[in-house]
Structures are given as structure tokens and as C-alpha cells.
Chain A
Amino acid sequence: MVTNSATRQETATAPATSDLVDAVVLLCTPKDASTPSAADTRALAKSVLEEVARETGLNANASTVFENLHSFSVRAPQQFVNAIARLDTVRQVLPNVMSDSAVIEPVKRIPVKLPKGLT
């Protein structure tokens, strides 16, 4: 069962996959510093995608809204993503795939034998 609060949207008019970029979009928080609701985030993400679609004549291939974190991911042509970054309602656009790994590898690993006969 999918319990994730993220929601997914796809469009039928996507360009070739090789022309697409994946990005994460962080939306601006309200000026009154309140925490945006999930509905606010969904509405703002939808508005951003629609505004950029009107401006560029392009569409996002896919997007996923992180409604608890006021952000969303998007797969779209570079021109589309560039247009997102120019909007006043957008705080930051980040590449989805990073050059470094987030894994913090242990510096030492030793197999362990637990004592026998105890419960």
C-alpha cells in the first residue's frame, strides 16, 4: 500500500528522455514564516509547473511533490528547469543527481560472535 504523501503527475507530451534533466525544486516559504500546509505546497507546485509550461510552451515529463517539505522533484527539458529557477516563488533549484555519495562509510568493520547459551 502506498502511504507516501508525495503525489505524482505525468504528461503525455514529453520530449525524448535524453533531452531531459532531473531537478529538485525548493519553494519559497510564506513571508509570515508559518509552515506551509500540504495543500499549499501542492497548489504552489502546480502553479509553478503551469506557469513555466505557459512561458516555455514545454511540459514537465514527470514531477513528484514533497508536500511535507515544501518542495518537488521534476523531470523536464533543461529550458523548462531554467525557467523554474527564475520564478520568484522558487527558492532554489538543485540537480537531482549529486557528484558525491551521501553514504558515510564505517571506518572499521569486524564480524562479531555473540555468547552462546544465553537468551
Chain B
Amino acid sequence: MSISASLTATGFAEVIVVLRPATSELVAAAGPSVPSNVLRHFIVSTDSQDGALLEALNAHGPMSTASEAAGGTSAASVRAVAHPKSKARHYPNLGIVLGTVDRVGLAGLRKESAVDKVVPAPQLRLIKPVAVAAATVAPGYTWGLRALRVDQMHAQGLTGKGILVGHLDTGVDGSHPALAGAVKVFAEFDALGNQVTGAKATDSGEHGTHTAGTIAGQPTQGVHFGVAPGAKLASAMVIEGGNVLARILSGMNWAVGQEVRVLSMSLGLPGSSDAFLAITQILRARGVLPVFAVGNEGPGTSRYPGNYAETLSVGAIDSAGAVADFSSSQRFKRKKDPIVPDLVGPGVDIVSCVPGGKYMQMSGTSMATPHIAGLVALLMEAKPEKTIHEIEGALFKSCSLKPGMLPNRANRGFPDGLIALSLL
């Protein structure tokens, strides 16, 4: 994200200051402290990525002895890195300083003779882990469905029947037994957003089949993992390759044309941009509730369009009720809905289907998002006369913060399907 975009969205930006070579050599010789004329332009913000990480670390409390004994980093040393005494981190051998600035600080830095240039700090990305040994799953409802009280909603006869859920992802394996009959319509698009004729319901990866299964997967071998197994999917492959805007817009355009009432998108671009803002406003105006993932880059980060005030953005918790370390969260400089995500859903060790008739546990806000979209489908089935604003409002009011959950990480907290139903 550019410095300007970050300042507009959040009021601050994380930057790298490149010192002029002469200054850099002097500073390196002087040690690790940052020159005071440079340091004075930085700010300390609890809403920055560093600040949010520190807050999250503090919320966790001291790290376990086992972690330290196993060679893990102690809490004290992590804090020393995350929150140095200085307002900025200095890398004397590289001749750069890393820190957070507001508009005034940025202007001040650019005027300093010691500063060569100021560039946006790159956002750290997670590295995909390798697959590990297969896990076994007990029959019954998965932890996520139980936590949302979906099992009790199913017992009342609610399955999402009659509700068409929009699902834009890597595609979906329509031949998976758990999704038999679930995919009502499927589409894929070329680079300019033209629909490809005769496309079969296939998945370019496995992400889309997994998220589709969480929305509408049938119980399989005694395991219930689909929130709304009676709902149908309008599913489109829009992120094969991942970076073509027209494909995503075309998928959204197509989903509206299919008359979906809820749109589940476990996708988003890092940072903040208003590229999808007008589109998201149009979705709402057309009666479609946008349920979008907030991202997997941790505190002080988020992805768009999931970070717009106009979307229902979803973070992730684990089965113990703790916000997942990877779950993005961020405070924005706006009056309406300044904190993202709006709420959190089940997003750690989520069982669902993947292509080839297989099953897999995955973790991510991508997994939490279809739980909430499925829950919306159950509420829409129960109360078809209610608007998307009423459904969303009931869902928000049903939320509560579990012990240890911080509002800055979980915002309203975790929803309760039965309470939301009773509020409608």
C-alpha cells in the first residue's frame, strides 16, 4: 500500500527511511540509536502493525516455559523487538530506519537533510506450511458449527433451503460427493471478464471447494461440516491466478444477476484502496449482503474489500475461543465502523471437502467467512421477509466477546445463531 493511501485510511503509515550515505556512516559508528533529528518525526501508535502486535502479545500473557525450553523466543525478548525503547528501529549497517509516521511526521522527514528518501514499509507475508500427517475426525458436528449453535438451528429444521449463496473463489469441485446437487450455477471468466461458455464446476486449487463445503456441504460419514446444507451455491472461479480485477468484478456482477442475497468472498487484496468501494455499495443497494474475509496477516493489517465499513468482515478464532494469531485486524480513521473485522468466526482446524473426494482441515479467515455466510443463509431461510440490514444487525447484536478477546482484535466478538434468530 502506498504511504498516501495508508495515511488516508488509518492516519498513519509505516515507512522505511533511507539515510544519506554520509549520515548513515556517522550513525553506524555512533551505535544503534537513531539520530534525534530523524527520530522526532516518528510516532508510537497502538493501531500500527507494531503497536497491535505488542497489544496482542501482552494479551497472551507470558509465553509458556515449554516454548522457552524448546528454544522458543521468550516473551521478554519478543517485546524487546516489537517495542523498542526508541520510537523507531534503526538498522545501522543498512543505513535505514523503520517506524510509523503521521502526515506531519512524513513532511518533516522529507525536509531533513539526513534523509535520502522515505518509502512504504513492506507488509510481511506468511509462508505456506507444508502438509503434515492426516488427522482423524470424530463423527458429529464440527466445533465451529457447535460454537455458532448451528446444530440447534438444524434441529429446528433450518438448513438454508431456498437460499442461493454467492461464492466467488478458486472454483468448486461440483463432483465432490459432499457437494452433490449443491452447485446450482457455476461460471468462470476470461481476463476481461467475459463469461467462458460451457464451464464445468471445477476448482483451480482446493480453496474454493473447501469454502463451498463449509457453506453447503452435506453431512458425510457422520461428520456435519456444512452450515447450510440445504442452501444452493452460485459459484464462480474468479481468483485463478489471483490478480485480475475484471474477473472478480465480473463474478460479482454475475452473482448479482443470479439474484443471490448473500455473497461469500474469501479473497482480498492487502492494504487499503477504494477500488471496490463503489461496487460494494452497489451490492448492498441491490440487497446483497457482502461477507468478506479480513485477511491472514495478523494485528495491524487487513485486506480490501473486507476492510470497508460497507462489508461484513470476518476474522478467525480457534476452538478455545481465542482470536487466531494470524487473523488480521485494524483500526481505520473513519467514524462508521472503524474497526475490522466486524466479528470473528470459526477459522482454525476447519474440516471441509477438497477436490478429488477428499477432506482437509484448513485454518484462515477464508475458513471463518463461509461459516458466517452459511449462518446468514439459515437466518434468511427462517426470516425471508427481513432485509440484509436487519439480518446483519441481528447477527451483530448476537455477538459477544469471549474471555480474553480484545475488541481491537475481535470487534463485536463471536455470533450466536440462536440469539440472532430470536432477535429477528
Do A and B truly interact?
yes
Whether the Cβ atoms of A69 and B282 lie closer than 8 Å is: yes
User: Pick the contact of B250 from A62, A64, A113 — CB < 8 Å?
Assistant: A64
Q: Which residue of A lies closest to B136 (CB)?
A: A113
Given contacts A4-B257, A69-B279, A111-B135, contact A101 B243 (CB under 8 A): yes
- Mask: chain B, 175-194; 1 = CB below 8 Å from A; 0 = not: 00000000001010101111
Q: Which residue of B lies closest to A115 (CB)?
A: B139
Whether, in the assembled complex, B212 has its beta carbon less than 8 Å from a beta carbon of chain A, the answer is no
Whether, in the assembled complex, A68 has its beta carbon less than 8 Å from a beta carbon of chain B, the answer is yes
Whether the Cβ atoms of A106 and B359 lie closer than 8 Å is: no
Q: Please report the C-alpha to C-alpha distance between residue A1 and residue B221 in the assembled complex, in whole angstroms.
A: 35
B residues in contact with A68, CB < 8 Å: 252-253, 256-257, 282, 286
Whether, in the assembled complex, B363 has its beta carbon less than 8 Å from a beta carbon of chain A, the answer is yes
Whether the Cβ atoms of B246 and A64 lie closer than 8 Å is: yes
B residues in contact with A16, CB < 8 Å: none
B residues in contact with A71, CB < 8 Å: 249, 253, 278-279
For window 25-80 of chain A, which residues contact chain B by CB distance below 8 Å? 26, 29, 35, 62-64, 66-71, 73, 75
Whether the Cβ atoms of B137 and A106 lie closer than 8 Å is: no
Q: Which residue of A lies closest to B280 (CB)?
A: A69
Given contacts A67-B253, A69-B282, contact A105 B359 (CB under 8 A): no
Closest CB of chain B to A93's CB: distance in Å? 10
For window 262-321 of chain B, which residues contact chain A by CB distance below 8 Å? 266-271, 274-275, 278-279, 282-283, 285-286, 293, 295-296, 303
Closest CB of chain A to B188's CB: distance in Å? 10
Q: Please report the C-alpha to C-alpha distance between residue A114 and residue B223 in the assembled complex, in whole angstroms.
A: 7
The count of chain B contact residues (Cβ–Cβ below 8 Å) is 78
Whether, in the assembled complex, B195 has its beta carbon less than 8 Å from a beta carbon of chain A, the answer is yes
B residues in contact with A101, CB < 8 Å: 239, 241-243, 269
Closest CB of chain B to A84's CB: distance in Å? 15
User: Pick the contact of B364 from A97, A105, A114 — CB < 8 Å?
Assistant: A105
Whether the Cβ atoms of B244 and A96 lie closer than 8 Å is: yes
Whether, in the assembled complex, B358 has its beta carbon less than 8 Å from a beta carbon of chain A, the answer is yes
Whether the Cβ atoms of A112 and B257 lie closer than 8 Å is: no
Q: Please report the C-alpha to C-alpha distance between residue A89 and residue B242 in the assembled complex, in whole angstroms.
A: 29
Whether, in the assembled complex, B351 has its beta carbon less than 8 Å from a beta carbon of chain A, the answer is yes
Q: Which residue of B lies closest to A33 (CB)?
A: B285
Question: Could you say which of A22, A29, A114 has the most chain B C-beta atoms within 10 Å of its C-beta?
Answer: A114
Given contacts A2-B195, A22-B192, contact A96 B245 (CB under 8 A): yes
Whether the Cβ atoms of A104 and B135 lie closer than 8 Å is: no
Q: Which residue of B lies closest to A68 (CB)?
A: B256
Whether, in the assembled complex, A12 has its beta carbon less than 8 Å from a beta carbon of chain B, the answer is no
Closest CB of chain A to B221's CB: distance in Å? 4
Whether the Cβ atoms of B254 and A4 lie closer than 8 Å is: yes
B residues in contact with A96, CB < 8 Å: 191-192, 244-246
Given contacts A6-B253, A24-B246, A69-B249, contact A64 B194 (CB under 8 A): yes
Whether the Cβ atoms of A104 and B293 lie closer than 8 Å is: yes
Question: Could you say which of B205, B349, B361 has the most chain A C-beta atoms within 10 Å of its C-beta?
Answer: B361
Whether, in the assembled complex, B76 has its beta carbon less than 8 Å from a beta carbon of chain A, the answer is no
Given contacts A35-B285, A101-B242, A106-B364, contact A6 B279 (CB under 8 A): no
For window 315-349 of chain B, which residues contact chain A by CB distance below 8 Å? 324, 326, 348-349
Whether the Cβ atoms of B193 and A103 lie closer than 8 Å is: no
Whether the Cβ atoms of A5 and B253 lie closer than 8 Å is: yes
Q: Please report the C-alpha to C-alpha distance between residue A63 and residue B360 in the assembled complex, in whole angstroms.
A: 40
User: Pick the contact of B269 from A102, A108, A109 — CB < 8 Å?
Assistant: A102
A residues in contact with B358, CB < 8 Å: 111-112
Closest CB of chain B to A33's CB: distance in Å? 9
Whether, in the assembled complex, B131 has its beta carbon less than 8 Å from a beta carbon of chain A, the answer is yes
B residues in contact with A107, CB < 8 Å: 126, 128-129, 296, 324, 326, 363-364
Q: Please report the C-alpha to C-alpha distance between residue A8 and residue B253 in the assembled complex, in whole angstroms.
A: 14
A residues in contact with B189, CB < 8 Å: 4
Whether the Cβ atoms of B267 and A103 lie closer than 8 Å is: yes
Whether the Cβ atoms of A64 and B361 lie closer than 8 Å is: no
Q: Please report the C-alpha to C-alpha distance between residue A68 and residue B286 in the assembled complex, in whole angstroms.
A: 9
Whether, in the assembled complex, A3 has its beta carbon less than 8 Å from a beta carbon of chain B, the answer is yes
**Could you list which residues of chain B lie within 8 angstroms of chain A, going by C-beta atoms?**
126, 128-129, 131-139, 170, 185, 187, 189, 191-195, 197, 205, 207, 210, 220-223, 239, 241-246, 248-250, 252-254, 256-258, 266-271, 274-275, 278-279, 282-283, 285-286, 293, 295-296, 303, 324, 326, 348-349, 351, 358-367
**The 3 A-B residue pairs with the shortest CB-CB distance in the complex, in nearest-first order:** A101-B242, A118-B222, A4-B195
- A–B Cβ pairs within 8 angstroms, 24 of them: A3-B258, A4-B187, A4-B253, A6-B193, A6-B253, A6-B254, A8-B194, A24-B245, A24-B249, A64-B194, A66-B252, A68-B252, A68-B257, A71-B249, A100-B243, A100-B269, A103-B239, A104-B303, A104-B364, A108-B129, A108-B364, A109-B361, A110-B362, A111-B358
Additional 4 contacts, C-beta under 8 A, given A66-B193, A112-B136, A115-B139: A2-B197, A71-B249, A111-B133, A115-B138
